[in-house]
Amino acid sequence: MTNLTDLTVAAIRDGVAAGTFSAVEVAEAFNARVAAAQALNAFIVTTPEAALDAARKVDADRAAGNALGKLAGVPIGMKDLFATKGVQTTAASHMLEGFTPQYESTVSQKLWDAGAGMLGKLNLDQFAMGSSNETSYFGNVISPWRRNDGSTAAMAPGGSSGGSSAAIAARLCPAATGTDTGGSIRQPAAFTGISGIKPTYGRCSRWGIVAFASSLDQAGPMARDVRDCAIMLEAMAGFDPKDSTSLDMAVPNWEASLNADMKGKKVGIPREYRVDGLDADVAKSWDDGIAWLKDAGAEIVEISLPHTKYALPAYYIIAPAEASSNLARYDGVRYGLRDLPDGANLQEMYAATRAAGFGAEVKRRILIGTYVLSAGFYDAYYTQAQKVRALIARDFELAFQHCDVILAPTAPTAAFGLGEKTADPLAMYLNDVFAVPASLAGLPAMSVPAGLNREGLPLGLQIVGRPFDEQGVLNAGLAIEARAQFSAKPEQWW
């Protein structure tokens, strides 16, 4: 019999619908695989019963001849940034340890409505702040990938959606939710040899997702291939009146319109991304990508995004500024941790609670954000950054007059070892140099696996599209996927 945990979302959905196997069989197989992978620390909590309950309902519906949802019988992982009713939701922070939401996030609700089941809540960087999943209060996620030199050094799964990327790469779930503020879907996808798409800002409701930086946060799917991403995204996206920034647009049939033929399409190659000292393997995979898209019929054009260099510094003003305000609600009054030293007054309780509840990286960003918004500095930092952000968005707008999609590396390097970059926050931030510009401009962007580097670690290629053109992004991803023939998977050591 097929190994059920090797199947894609599409294959599970189709198999359940055809009766080749039951949804419960699928859930049981993934539950077992999750239970056996504790060494990866990909989940903060597992919810095998939730997965089984959803599966039983799908099986019953099928037996009764009821219509099945788009994700009927597909068990997935839920990044622990999405509020799940009755299931602890922590944002990987001590601050929210034990917090049990009385509500379900819009995106997770849509997934359950589509027939998906929940295997558990996936680990992440604390409050989604990090690029290696090393800031979680619940411990590092270990990537299933290792270098091909026989080393047993633990590798970073990327971040912040590191639990999601590790779990998918290790076949603990066929798909998972991610969120992307400055690359948090794409970079971990690249690090672990899977696919992930951040849709246009506003496609997926932010209601019920623990906020990091509101003007940047966007949910999206992570899965093993482009088709699975399209299926997942169709279920996750859609207008939500509860989110003022939600796009009031119909959700296209992305899966049905997948088309790897790039004839008549122009692919832009941004000159500014060829930074000095670009990793040779990364540069090569980029060239491969160019060749593949050309092979798929696309015309390659060079484009310029002149303000690329300033994207990351702008991001590191805007995101911490918003975060410093978004995270003010964690004060020990209504939920979450309360640290009340003897005799402390209200303000002292706040300070003690927040000191105990937030990790070092979260504190660092709150302090930066507080500083750049403080009296006398607001214009020099925040206003300037929002102006630069406008210029970055304009760069893309101009570039898209000459091309349909943009191709670039997802990250400047392949995965690094855990602990290798934790001493230097700036070095860590630089990981998102290629991912952040699309976030600042709210554009749809995805990462697809392109191959392995000389160390045997996966590399990703990034496709950025026009606003609302997820289809163009998915199609270019599919064209690369078809030619990259990426089939490597991590050898099971856990």
Q: Which residue number, 127 or 434, has a Cβ lying nearer to other proteins? A: 127
Distance of CA 240 to the CA centre of its chain: 20
Q: How far is the CB of 177 from other proteins (least distance, A)?
A: 13
In this complex, which beta carbon is closest to other proteins, that of residue 83 or of residue 293? Answer: 83
184 is catalytic: yes
Is there a contact between 279 and 315 (Cβ–Cβ < 8 Å)?
no
State which residue, 296 or 321, has the beta carbon closest to other proteins: 321
**In the complex, what is the shortest distance from the CB of residue 239 to other proteins, in angstroms, rounded to a whole number?**
10
For residues 393 and 345, what is the distance between their CA atoms, to the nearest angstrom?
46
Q: Which is nearer to other proteins, 331 or 470 (CB)?
A: 331
Catalytic residue among 22, 143, 160, 246: 160
Half-sphere exposure at residue 144, Cβ-oriented, CA atoms within 13 angstroms: 26
The CB-of-47 to other proteins minimum distance in angstroms stands at: 19
Annotation marks residue 160 as catalytic? yes
Two tokens at 459? 């590399």
Nearer to other proteins by C-beta: 291 or 346? 346
**Smallest distance, other proteins to C-beta of residue 155, A:** 25
Q: Which is nearer to other proteins, 8 or 325 (CB)?
A: 325
| Distances in whole angstroms, Cα of residue 274 to Cα of each of 304, 395, 407 | 11, 16, 12
Q: Look up 136 and say whether it is catalytic.
A: no
Contact 19, 62 (CB under 8 A): yes
Closest CA to 176 of 88, 111, 128: 111
For residue 368, give Cα distances in angstroms to 267, 352, 424, 491. 37, 19, 16, 41
Distance CA 212, CA 369 (A): 12
Q: What is the pairing mode between strands 117-122 and 43-46?
A: antiparallel
Q: With H, G, I as helix, E, B as strand and everything else as coil, classify residue 265.
A: coil
Maximum Cα interatomic distance, the chain, rounded to a whole number of Å: 72
| Burial degree of 245 (CB within 10 A; 0-12, 13-18, 19+) | middle
Output 267 or 314, the one with its CB closest to other proteins: 314
Q: Could you tell me the two tokens for 389?
A: 């952000």
The 299-303 sheet, strands edge to edge: 43-46, 117-122, 75-79, 175-180, 218-223, 195-198, 445-452, 458-465, 405-409, 266-270, 299-303
Catalytic residues: 79, 160, 184
